[in-house]
């Protein structure tokens, strides 16, 4: 289905085109209108530490930064680069800031990187094997990747996102580093890059709507035709206690009408619990689009207007700790979709993406380079206070 023409002007809050209703869009039916008169209930639920989900996040400590270097080295002839050439790469300078961080990471993870005499950097046999398997995985899963990228754009009102926002989500979506030159160019019928007049940003635009894709994961899992009042899967950290007032509110909130995240929300009053359920549904779907069912909170902080969200929209993560878990390890806040982990630290089989399994193997190879004491604590899945506070040793932060 072709999209309606859009004005070439800057996609600002006032000029963004509104979506047409495509699926499950009973937004202003009579039952709905009565329930929308109820204002947003002011319920505050406490944050409780979940060691299993913290361990799931902690296992990727340094993985993204190491993978960035590994990806660059593997792309060169003979799978090797000179150290000066690596340090001079624009993406490396932007990600690490200085040469000391790169040197420290290369030296620390000798199980991935081999430093040669004369300043050369190559990959170990273990790293090369994993990289080849990863490339094969990306090729095999490309149709799924393209589908998830299309669905991400379909969640937004203008069916567009600034390319910088997509870059922030690249790792979580499983996009290859060269996705602009590879994925986007191979699917010109789905994607285009545009720079609106007066806007410094380049935008990734979706060119076609697919009703078959505009079905949320919650609707798929329900397995029923009537999706008017779908409840979300809810579970809590062991030892989490809910007051009776909160239990009653949650039960009533779950029974409210469910709005598809792909539907036009313009008929909803943002000050109501019905609207909040729609907001939760958007993030529930967005996290399902990621390969590990999690992303850092700041990655979605600049998507408010594009997703038709209210101010302070990320408060839904704190208000619904049975659906989302906010992990505070590694010096940031990572939003995790609880249902995908089933109370443990590993993704359930039905949610597991083959790329996640390969990343777990990368992390295992990296842990093998650590001293036995630190390696043992990581392999046991424990998450120490040191992990939470970012204390001790080198830290390598990667920013797109």
User: What is the per-residue pLDDT across 147-183, written as a single tens digit (0 to 9) for each?
Assistant: 999 999 999 999 999 999 999 999 999 999 999 999 9
| Regions of the chain where pLDDT drops below 70 | 1-44, 373-400
- The encoded tokens of residue 296 equal 């850092």
Report the interhelical angle of 163-173 vs 142-154 (nearest 10°).
140
Mean pLDDT, rounded, of the chain: 85
CB 84 within 8 A of CB 119: yes
- The encoded tokens of residue 192 equal 């285009």
Distance CA 287, CA 228 (A): 22
pLDDT of residue 225: 77
- The encoded tokens of residue 54 equal 């913290």
pLDDT of residue 321: 93
Residues 339, 345, 351, 353, CA torsion sign: positive
pTM for the structure as a whole: 0.84
Compute and round to an integer the Cα radius of gyration of the chain: 22
Distance CA 106, CA 121 (A): 8
pLDDT of residue 380: 52
pLDDT of residue 175: 96
DSSP run (H or E) holding 142: helix 142-154
DSSP state of 208: B
DSSP state of 77: G
Distance spanning both ends of the chain, measured CA to CA: 33
List, in order, residues 6 or more apart from 244 with CB less than 8 Å away. none
- The encoded tokens of residue 91 equal 């993406």
- The encoded tokens of residue 66 equal 């190491």
pLDDT of residue 301: 86
For residue 76, the SS3 value is coil
Of 358, 384, 389, 363, the closest CA to residue 373 belongs to: 384
């Amino acid at each position: 289905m072709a999209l309606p023409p859009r004005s070439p002007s800057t996609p600002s809050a006032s000029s963004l085109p509104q979506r047409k209703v495509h699926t499950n869009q009973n937004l202003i039916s009579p039952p709905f209108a009565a329930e929308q008169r109820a204002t947003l209930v002011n319920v505050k639920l406490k944050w409780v530490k979940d060691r299993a989900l913290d361990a799931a996040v902690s296992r990727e400590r340094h993985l993204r930064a190491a993978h960035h270097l590994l990806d660059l080295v593997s792309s060169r002839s003979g799978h090797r680069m000179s150290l000066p050439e690596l340090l001079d790469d624009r993406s490396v300078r932007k990600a690490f800031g200085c040469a000391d961080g790169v040197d420290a990471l290369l030296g620390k993870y000798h199980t991935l990187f081999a430093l040669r005499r004369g300043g050369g950097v190559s990959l170990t046999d273990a790293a090369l094997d994993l990289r080849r398997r990863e490339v094969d995985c990306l090729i095999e899963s490309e149709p799924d990747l393209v589908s998830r990228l299309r669905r991400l754009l379909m969640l937004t009102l203008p069916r567009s996102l600034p390319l910088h926002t997509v870059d922030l989500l690249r790792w979580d979506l499983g996009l290859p580093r060269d996705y602009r030159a590879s994925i986007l160019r191979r699917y010109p019928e789905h994607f285009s890059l545009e720079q609106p007049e007066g806007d410094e940003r380049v935008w990734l635009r979706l060119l076609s709507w697919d009703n078959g894709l505009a079905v949320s994961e919650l609707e798929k899992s329900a397995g029923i035709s009537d999706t008017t009042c779908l409840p979300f899967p809810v579970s809590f950290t062991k030892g989490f206690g809910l007051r009776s007032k909160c239990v009653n509110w949650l039960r009533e909130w779950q029974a409210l009408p469910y709005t598809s995240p792909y539907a036009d929300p313009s008929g909803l009053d943002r000050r109501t619990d019905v609207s909040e359920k729609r907001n939760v549904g958007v993030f529930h779907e967005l996290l399902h689009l990621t390969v590990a069912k999690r992303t850092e909170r700041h990655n979605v902080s600049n998507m408010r207007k594009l997703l038709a969200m209210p101010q302070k929209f990320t408060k839904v993560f704190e208000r619904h700790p049975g659906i989302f878990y906010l992990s505070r390890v590694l010096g940031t806040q990572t939003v995790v979709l609880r249902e995908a982990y089933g109370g443990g630290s590993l993704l359930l089989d039905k949610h597991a993406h083959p790329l996640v399994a390969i990343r777990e193997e990368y992390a295992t190879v990296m842990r093998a380079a650590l001293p036995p004491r630190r390696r043992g604590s990581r392999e046991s899945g424990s998450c120490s206070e040191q992990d939470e506070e970012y204390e001790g040793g080198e830290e390598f932060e990667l920013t797109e």
